[in-house]
Amino acid sequence: MKVALGQFAVQPDWHDNLVICSDLIEQAALGGADFLLLPESILAQDMTDPDIIPKTAQPIDGPFITHLLAVTKRYPKLTMAGCLPIPDGLNRFYNTLLVIKNGQIIAEYRKLHLYDAFSFQESRSITAGNSLPPLVEVAGFKLGLMICYDLRFPELARRLVLEGADGLILPASWLKGPGKESHWDILVKARALENTCYMIATGECGARNIGNSMVVDPLGVAIVRAGEEPALIFATLEHSRIEHARSVLPVLHNRRFLPPKFI
């Protein structure tokens, strides 16, 4: 499977972000990608406005998602995923990862772990989901869904891999700060290595975020990686690499604990 990771600095105006996302979809498709992962919060971001989410959030049938669905119809081979706040009509907003193919939403996941850490409070505007993320199949690979802060909870990644995930996708808006780039690097690689699976992690870049999108293979090797600027990068995932990793490092077979229960 060929994957593409499109990182960019999300703008306050959703119209600008729609143009960027549409262009990344086209470039990924023309580059032969089977799957494109965009960052977290692709609808709108403004570091000077703490109320940007309630001001800009759109429903599933709003113009932003409707246009993305239409764009994907032009490239039926490509599956894409992006994350944005979606209201539920009850004055609540869910940080939602949508997986789209050929004009249809084929999976969605509401973020379980809200980023109330390092002096940030995501729960101020976002409600936590209460359902485990699904697996989606793309080009013969099963992918588990995660979002940003979920990366710090290894039990979620392990649960998805035990359910059959060959890889984990993670859109993120990883904030800058002391040690934060190191955290990102360590955790993305650790989730891949400890589960002998691929990690596909796309980070927002810009004034407050680190970028650093990467694909890490099942033995913890970053096979492709972006810097801090907008970029579209590609990588090829191979079943043979997963099989090799799980033969030389059989951690899934050697484990002594039952899968964690979801509370």
- The residues that are catalytic are 40, 111, 148
User: What is the torsional sign of CA 75, 80, 83, 85?
Assistant: positive
Q: What does each of the 263 residues of the chain score in pLDDT, given as a tens digit?
A: 999 999 999 999 999 999 999 999 999 999 999 999 999 999 999 988 989 999 999 999 999 999 999 999 999 999 999 999 999 988 899 999 999 999 999 999 999 999 999 999 999 999 999 999 999 999 999 999 999 999 999 999 999 999 999 999 999 999 999 999 999 999 999 999 999 999 999 999 999 999 999 999 999 999 999 999 999 999 999 999 999 999 999 999 999 987 666 65
pLDDT of residue 262: 61
DSSP-derived pairing of the beta strands 2-7 and 35-37: parallel
The CATH number assigned to the domain holding 28 equals: 3.60.110.10
Residue 179 located in a structural domain:
yes
Tokens 């990366």 belong to residue: 151
Q: How far is CA 131 from the centre of its chain?
A: 17
Q: What is the pLDDT of residue 87?
A: 95
Backbone angles phi, psi at 120, to 5 degrees: -110, 150
142-160 as b/e, with b when 16 or more CB fall inside 10 Å?
A: bbbbbbbbbbebeebbbbb
> Scanning the structure block, which residue is given the tokens 């999108």?
213
Distance, CA of 96 to CA of 216 (rounded, Å):
24
**Sign of the CA dihedral with 186 first, then 111, 44, and 31 last:** positive
Which tokens is 179 given? Answer: 């040690």
Task: Give the pLDDT confidence score for residue 4 in this predicted structure.
Answer: 98
Determine the pLDDT at residue 60.
95
The length of the chain is: 263
What distance in Å separates the CA atoms of residue 92 and residue 8, rounded to the nearest whole number?
27
Reading the block at residue 169, the tokens are 């996708």
Q: Say if CB 231 and CB 39 are below 8 A apart.
A: no
SS3 percent helix, strand, coil of the chain, rounded to 5, is 30, 30, 40
- Give me the pLDDT at residue 90, please: 84
Among the listed residues 74, 65, 75, 114, the one whose alpha carbon sits nearest the alpha carbon of residue 94: 114
Is 262 domain-assigned? no
Q: Is residue 221 part of a domain?
A: yes
- Residue 236: inside a domain: yes
Q: How many CA atoms lie within 13 A of 259 on its CB side?
A: 14
92: in domain: yes
Q: Please tell me the total count of domains within the chain.
A: 1
Tell me, yes or no, whether 6 lies in a domain.
yes
Q: In which domain, by residue range, is 56 found?
A: 2-254
Question: Is 261 inside any structural domain?
Answer: no
The answer to whether residue 263 is domain-embedded is no
CB 41 within 8 A of CB 84: yes
SS3 (DSSP) at 246? helix
